Amino acid sequence: MSAVAANVESAPTVDHPVLAVRGATKRFGSVVALDDVSIEVRRGEILGLLGDNGAGKSTLTKCISGVHQLDAGAIFLDGAPTQIRSPADARFAGIETVYQDLALFDNLTPGQNFFAGRELAWPRWLPRGMRFLQQRRMDAETRILLANLKVTLPRLDAVVAMMSGGQRQAIAVARSTVFARKVVILDEPTAALGLRESRQVLNLVATLRDQGNAVILITHNMEHVTELADRAVVLRQGRKVGELVPTKDNKQELVSMIVGA
Amino acid sequence: MPETRGTGTTVGDAAMSAPKKQEAVPGLALGLALLSAGPVVILVLLIVVLSFLSPYLLTGRNLSNILAQTAVISVVAMGQHLVILTRGIDLSVGSNVALASVVGALSFHAGAPASVVIAVMVGCGAAVGTINGLFYVFGRLPHPFIITLATLSIAKGLALQLADGRAIPGMPDAIDALGREAVWGLPGSVFVVAGVAAVLFVMAKTMVWGRWIYAVGGRPDAALRMGIPVSWVLVSVYVISGLCAGIGAVILAGRTDAGSPLFGNLLELDTIAAVIIGGASFLGGRGHLGHALIGAIMIGVIRNALNLLNVNVFFQLIVIGVVIVIAVESDVLRNYLEGRMRVLQAGRQS
């Protein structure tokens, strides 16, 4: 863990860590899913989170995004200790998550998906649910957003159920950018995609970084890690077993850290 | 909406060109369009065919009759529709109508003015709905079937107990007026239905709450993760379903000038049938108020026509049942076609 500092110096956009997790521990019954794990990620940086199945990657990200609560350890946002009790808390704090199952609403349009749970509405003095939707504003922002991310969709007024896997993935990633102010977590964003669709999603991930977000990327794909990640953290059986700057040359080292050989 | 809507923005290298795909699956698109227009088409066909069989069907008096007879189903089905949108079901609406009508009749005989009697009926309906919602959500029940089945029984028992098993005749004149002809040969109840429909339509279409109902019905777990207050959205639809049952009780009391524990018998089935026949999805998240209304009118037309044709009542039940099967199967077919369409689109991209 002392290697962190050295690597950070070499990162291109050095800043204070936007998100830091210190001593994260999580147990499910007698199973220790996370054991004293510490990570940090900075503005404009992509952190690759690697590990075999059951290594604790998803548990760690779920603790950050409020789905689980840590048993021990703390989460710091911009240096301040932050309690994240629910997914809503996390979103409010500026942490966006693209879940592996995408968490898209098949029965809603892309724009409705983007704004689900934080619809633009007025008047502000009414309780949130009683406000009136500002549909035109949301439509306009949806188009701007998609254009900025260079995502093309056949129809903006069709429900997401009618769209292909890559389009759906792009919508889920794009949604995370709408309100992401600090951290974006992507859980296996290319797992179910073909080559071309993967490429498109990876471009999106790079865009997220370029917009100044701190990005945590969970993936099994070593190519993607060496291509995109500024740093890589390897978990094995709930512990952090290594951290390095991934290059083409140390790919083998990464793999052996993952499998523990 | 501005002109860009539906055309998609073509920026960058994403290579998903819209027009190609639309042409690729014209058959499927046509099938889906037919299915979504299905209930209206069927209703029109039904009216055309039946009007040949019975010349009385399309007379003004009979049409007004159909609307009057379907007023209660329509209003209660609109509430049921909101519940079904969230993947739920409200079995208690029929008993709720009975209980509300009895409580209303009792309050009238205790000397309450018309406005209070109406408030009591609607409030009673909403109260039962609130109980349904609170127990379902905060009692952590696996499915609303169970709690609404329980309140079906409780409300029915309570209504029978309070009314001593008999109808209680007598309602304030203002309520009776709903059963009489008001304007354009239409009974007052039709305007109540239209009013409720207008209010619910605006709420579901333009309010954040309405959007949340669709989100919760589409994917409850995702709704939670997106920070939508799922519990309260669920409670709210049961409250509104109960409220609609209360309004249904007012209409029924007006038509019969009485409150009765036997009101609303099998109304839960009629309203569920109306929602499904009208084209809303039983799987949740899809459908709109129009579906509930079209379904209710379809049931009314079928019953009315079979009556005019002197077909016996038992056969009506069979016909309605068959129509339900057709409606549910076309929902399944729609899901299948959408899946096919998605596969074809994905295939074209890679």
Pairing mode of beta strands A132-133, A80-81: unpaired
The per-residue pLDDT for A176 is: 85
Q: Give B 262-301 residues with CB within 8 A of chain A.
A: 285-286
In this predicted model, what pLDDT tens digit does every residue of A167-176 receive, in sequence order?
888 899 888 8
Rounded to whole angstroms, how far apart are CA atoms A176 and A172? 7
**Region A181-203 average pLDDT:** 85
Q: How many CB atoms lie within 10 A of CB B249?
A: 34
The per-residue pLDDT for B18 is: 40
**Region B291-299 average pLDDT:** 92
Do the domain assignments include residue B54? no
Rounded to whole angstroms, how far apart are CA atoms B148 and A2? 60
Do the domain assignments include residue B41? no
The per-residue pLDDT for B320 is: 81
As for how many domains chain B has, the answer is: 1
Do the domain assignments include residue B153? yes
CB contact under 8 A, A116 and B22: no
Q: What is the distance in angstroms between the Cα of A234 and the nearest Cα belonging to chain B?
A: 27
**Region B197-225 average pLDDT:** 94
Cβ pair A152, A182 in contact under 8 A: no
pLDDT band at B6 (very low <50, low <70, confident <90, very high): very low
Q: Give A 71-100 residues with CB within 8 A of chain B.
A: 86-88, 91-92, 97, 99
Considering chain A, what percentage of its residues have pLDDT values greater than 90? 40
B23 interface with A at CB cutoff 8 Å:
no
**Region B168-188 average pLDDT:** 86
In this predicted model, what pLDDT tens digit does every residue of B35-73 receive, in sequence order?
777 788 888 888 888 888 888 888 888 888 899 889 999
Do the domain assignments include residue B252? yes
Rounded to whole angstroms, how far apart are CA atoms A116 and B213? 11
Q: Which residue has the higher pLDDT, B46 or B132?
A: B132
B228 interface with A at CB cutoff 8 Å:
yes
**Region B311-335 average pLDDT:** 83
- Say yes or no to pLDDT of A148 above 50: yes
Of A167, A166, A209, A215, nearest in space to A191 by CA: A166
**Which of A107, A150, A195 is opposite residue B285, by nearest beta carbon?**
A107
Q: How many CB atoms lie within 10 A of CB A215?
A: 26
Q: Which residue has the higher pLDDT, B130 or B63?
A: B130
Considering chain A, what percentage of its residues have pLDDT values greater than 70? 94
The per-residue pLDDT for B17 is: 39
- Say yes or no to pLDDT of A110 above 70: yes
Q: Which chain B residues contact residue A143 at CB under 8 A? A: 4, 9
Of B270, B262, B221, B229, nearest in space to B90 by CA: B270
Do the domain assignments include residue B304? yes
- Say yes or no to pLDDT of B7 above 60: no
- Asked if residue A123 has a cis previous peptide bond (ω within 30° of 0), the answer is yes
CB contact under 8 A, B208 and A139: no
Cβ pair B108, B165 in contact under 8 A: no
Listed as own residue / partner, the contacts of B206-210 with beta carbons closer than 8 Å and 24 or more positions apart are B206/A132, B206/A133, B207/A121, B207/A129, B207/A130, B207/A131, B207/A132, B207/A133, B208/A119, B208/A121, B208/A128, B208/A129, B208/A130, B208/A131, B208/A132, B208/A133, B209/A129, B209/A130, B209/B233, B209/B236, B210/A133
Of B63, B44, B302, B305, nearest in space to B184 by CA: B63
All residues at 6 or more sequence positions from A119 whose CB lies less than 8 Å from its CB, including other chains: A131, A133, A134, A138, B208, B211
Coil, helix or strand for A14? coil
- Give the CATH number of the domain where residue A226 resides: 3.40.50.300
Do the domain assignments include residue A68? yes
Of B5, B77, B60, nearest in space to B289 by CA: B77
B231 interface with A at CB cutoff 8 Å:
no
Q: Which chain B residues contact residue A195 at CB under 8 A? A: 350
Do the domain assignments include residue A17? yes
As for how many domains chain A has, the answer is: 1
Highest-confidence range of A91-105, A114-128, A183-197, B85-99, by mean pLDDT? B85-99
- Say yes or no to pLDDT of B25 above 80: no
Secondary element (H or E) of residue A240: strand A239-244
The per-residue pLDDT for B349 is: 54
- Give the CATH number of the domain where residue B69 resides: 1.10.3470
Do the domain assignments include residue A129? no
- Say yes or no to pLDDT of A37 above 50: yes
Cβ pair A242, A37 in contact under 8 A: no
Q: Give A 98-157 residues with CB within 8 A of chain B.
A: 99, 103-108, 112, 116-119, 121, 128-133, 136, 139-140, 143, 146-147, 150-157
In this predicted model, what pLDDT tens digit does every residue of A54-85 receive, in sequence order?
889 989 999 999 989 999 999 999 989 999 99
Rounded to whole angstroms, how far apart are CA atoms A176 and A186? 9
**Which of B11, B214, B225 is opposite residue A107, by nearest beta carbon?**
B214
Do the domain assignments include residue A165? no
**Which of A97, A108, A133 is opposite residue B208, by nearest beta carbon?**
A133
Coil, helix or strand for B134? helix
Cβ pair A71, A90 in contact under 8 A: no
Show the domain range for A87: 3-102+179-259
Rounded to whole angstroms, how far apart are CA atoms B277 and B45? 14
The per-residue pLDDT for B12 is: 36
DSSP B207: B
Show the domain range for B224: 61-336
Tokens of A3: 């290697």
pLDDT band at A235 (very low <50, low <70, confident <90, very high): very high
B239 interface with A at CB cutoff 8 Å:
no
Q: Which residue has the higher pLDDT, B18 or B151?
A: B151
CB contact under 8 A, A165 and B22: no
In this predicted model, what pLDDT tens digit does every residue of A14-30 receive, in sequence order?
457 899 999 999 999 99
Residue type, A250: N
Q: Which chain A residues contact residue B220 at CB under 8 A? A: none
Q: How many CB atoms lie within 10 A of CB B169?
A: 12
Pairs across A and B, CB distance < 8 A:
150
DSSP A133: E
Q: What is the distance in angstroms between the Cα of A61 and the nearest Cα belonging to chain B?
A: 14
In this predicted model, what pLDDT tens digit does every residue of B262-282 receive, in sequence order?
999 999 999 999 998 888 888
B15 interface with A at CB cutoff 8 Å:
yes
- Say yes or no to pLDDT of A7 above 60: no
Considering chain B, what percentage of its residues have pLDDT values greater than 70? 91
Q: What is the distance in angstroms between the Cα of A50 and the nearest Cα belonging to chain B?
A: 24
Do the domain assignments include residue B190? yes
Least confident of A2-6, B99-103, B214-218: A2-6
Rounded to whole angstroms, how far apart are CA atoms B118 and B124? 10
